[in-house]
């Protein structure tokens, strides 16, 4: 995977003549589960050379497949593709470590996991105590980088963790009434959202796990997070630097880590009347995300962010001044073939999006608390007092 990391890190914000950089798209295959095996499922995905993904409907031998040239819509190439043996650390270091570095330089970054329910999104993002995921590894790396460079307590790290469920935004660190989204010059603000000041990694895993337990569950399956819930962790790093004329300036970099709702088509459920409303809303958020991605791919001037709460919140994580990473999670089970194919098609499309990440040096000239991010953070802090 180290060669993949090298290839990936050559992306850079300025290495592209259009002045933008495209979204990096990764695929992660999870191991087949015992339950799937017991149900007689075969493995229908093969990952070759850390990049290529082949979908083989009935666990066909890949060589037969290649010989028959039946690969239309069945072969995809991504920036990196992780086989089921990849560790949490492999995934973190290839997909997100570079963004943590950028955030420490006052830039924004975002990573989002997309895929059907059970495909491994929450495992990838949050992970377990034994195998912490991208959210925890990113924060750990952030603190260790801050310590290594003896930044003298100059860096302040704030965490917020929120959920979009049924077009309602909730604070996962402080459950209560739904939050209202407001748009002002600084962008979209969730009024009253907790900004938790983090001092070390140790407290973070417990905090995030508690937050995850606060995610909405189905009344019929109280121990399972609803597949319709989107979770967004935002890590804001605020610090002061001296600019060229020796003025102290404030800078903020923000990393957004997003565990999206299950991407499967609305399934028939036992409580259809209640669910149909929720189903429609979840479709609304994911459909809105798809339309934004399509509009971005086509280079449209108008991107329909306003169509859902999710896309409003992701506005500066998709098309704006942001380094964006998408991780498509897939199951190897032949019983999930069509979901996997949908996920791969969507991921393939997402490769075409271009984003423009600000160069870190553009922001050095901005006066104290003059950046949009700084204003936003100050405002949020005021609201939380
Ligand atoms: P999702 O959030 O996409 O619905 P989960 O992350 O909850 O899916 O994963 C479903 C199940 O598969 C969980 O029990 C999880 O622990 C397990 N799982 C997912 N990915 C992996 C992986 N890479 N290695 C081991 N177990 C995994
Ligand atoms: Mg999940």
Please check whether residue 83 is in contact with residue 31, taking contact to mean a CB–CB distance below 8 angstroms: no
117 lines ligand 1 (CB under 6 A): yes
pLDDT at 63: 62
First-last CA distance in the chain? 46
To 5 degrees, how large is the angle CA 79–CA 99–CA 292? 65
Distance 227 CA to ligand 2 centre (A): 7
Distance 300 CA to ligand 2 centre (A): 32
Question: Residues of the chain whose pLDDT is less than 50?
Answer: 1-19, 59, 266-271, 273-274, 357-385
Please check whether residue 262 is in contact with residue 317, taking contact to mean a CB–CB distance below 8 angstroms: no
Q: How far apart are CA 180 and CA 189, in angstroms?
A: 8
pLDDT at 376: 42
CA 203 to chain centre: 22
- What is the SS3 assignment for 204? helix
Please check whether residue 36 is in contact with residue 14, taking contact to mean a CB–CB distance below 8 angstroms: no
Alpha-helical (H) ranges within the chain are: 2-9, 34-38, 62-68, 88-95, 97-103, 121-125, 134-148, 202-213, 272-297, 309-313, 315-318, 337-350, 372-384
CB crowding 98-135: b at 16 or more within 10 Å, else e: bbbbbbbbbbbbbbbbbbbbbbbbbbbbbbeeeebbbb
To 5 degrees, how large is the angle CA 201–CA 128–CA 23? 80
315 lines ligand 1 (CB under 6 A): no
User: Which residue, judged by its Cα, is nearest atom 15 of ligand 1?
Assistant: 123
pLDDT at 217: 87
Query: 88-95 and 2-9 are packed helices; what angle lies between their axes, rounded to 10 degrees?
Result: 20
Question: Residues with Cβ within 5 Å of ion ligand 2?
Answer: 121-122
Confirm or deny that 115 is annotated as ligand binding.
yes
Confirm or deny that 236 is annotated as ligand binding.
no
Q: How far apart are CA 341 and CA 245, in angstroms?
A: 55
Distance 217 CA to ligand 1 centre (A): 17
ipTM above 0.85, yes or no: yes
Confirm or deny that 12 is annotated as ligand binding.
no
Q: How far is CA 293 from CA 99, 211, 303, 331, in A?
A: 21, 28, 8, 23
Distance 23 CA to ligand 1 centre (A): 24
329 lines ligand 1 (CB under 6 A): yes
The residue to mutate among 32, 90, 95, 120, having the most atoms of ligand 1 within 8 angstroms of its beta carbon, is 120
122 lines ligand 1 (CB under 6 A): yes
Which atom of ligand 1 is nearest the CA belonging to 33? 12
Distance 227 CA to ligand 1 centre (A): 13
Task: For 333-366, give the DSSP string.
Answer: BGGGHHHHHHHHHHHHHHTT-EE-PPPGGGGTTS
């Amino acid at each position: 995977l180290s060669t993949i990391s090298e290839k990936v890190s050559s992306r850079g914000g300025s290495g592209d003549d259009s002045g933008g950089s495209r979204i990096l798209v990764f695929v992660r295959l999870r191991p087949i589960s015992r339950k799937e095996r017991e149900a007689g499922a075969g493995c229908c995905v093969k990952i070759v050379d850390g990049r290529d993904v082949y979908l083989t409907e009935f666990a066909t031998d890949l060589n037969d497949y290649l010989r028959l040239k039946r690969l239309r819509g069945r072969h995809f190439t991504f920036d990196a593709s992780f086989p089921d043996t990849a560790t949490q650390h492999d995934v973190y270091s290839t997909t997100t470590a570079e963004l943590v570095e950028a955030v420490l330089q006052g830039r924004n970054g975002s990573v989002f996991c997309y895929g059907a329910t059970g495909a491994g999104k929450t495992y990838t993002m949050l992970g377990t105590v034994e195998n912490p995921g991208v959210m925890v590894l990113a924060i750990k790396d952030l603190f260790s980088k801050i310590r290594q460079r003896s930044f003298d307590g100059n860096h302040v790290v704030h965490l917020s963790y929120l959920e979009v469920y049924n077009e309602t935004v909730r604070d996962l660190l402080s459950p209560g009434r739904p939050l209202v989204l407001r748009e002002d010059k600084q962008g979209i603000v969730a009024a009253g959202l907790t900004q938790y000041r983090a001092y070390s990694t140790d407290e973070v895993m417990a905090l995030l796990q508690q937050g995850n337990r606060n995610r909405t569950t189905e009344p019929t399956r109280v121990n399972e997070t609803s597949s319709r819930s989107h979770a967004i962790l935002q890590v804001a790093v605020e610090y002061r630097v001296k600019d060229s004329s020796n003025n102290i300036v404030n800078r903020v970099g923000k990393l957004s880590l997003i565990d999206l709702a299950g991407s499967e088509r609305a399934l028939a459920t036992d409580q259809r009347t209640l669910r149909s409303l929720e189903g429609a809303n979840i479709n609304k958020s994911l459909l809105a995300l798809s339309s934004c991605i399509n509009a971005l791919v086509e280079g449209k001037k108008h991107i329909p962010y306003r169509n859902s709460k999710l896309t409003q919140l992701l506005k500066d994580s998709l098309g704006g001044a942001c380094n964006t990473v998408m991780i498509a999670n897939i199951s190897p089970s032949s019983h999930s073939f069509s979901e996997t194919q949908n996920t791969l098609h969507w991921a393939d499309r997402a490769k075409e999006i271009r984003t423009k990440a600000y160069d870190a040096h553009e922001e050095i000239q901005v006066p104290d608390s003059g950046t949009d991010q700084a204003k936003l953070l100050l405002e949020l802090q005021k609201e939380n007092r």
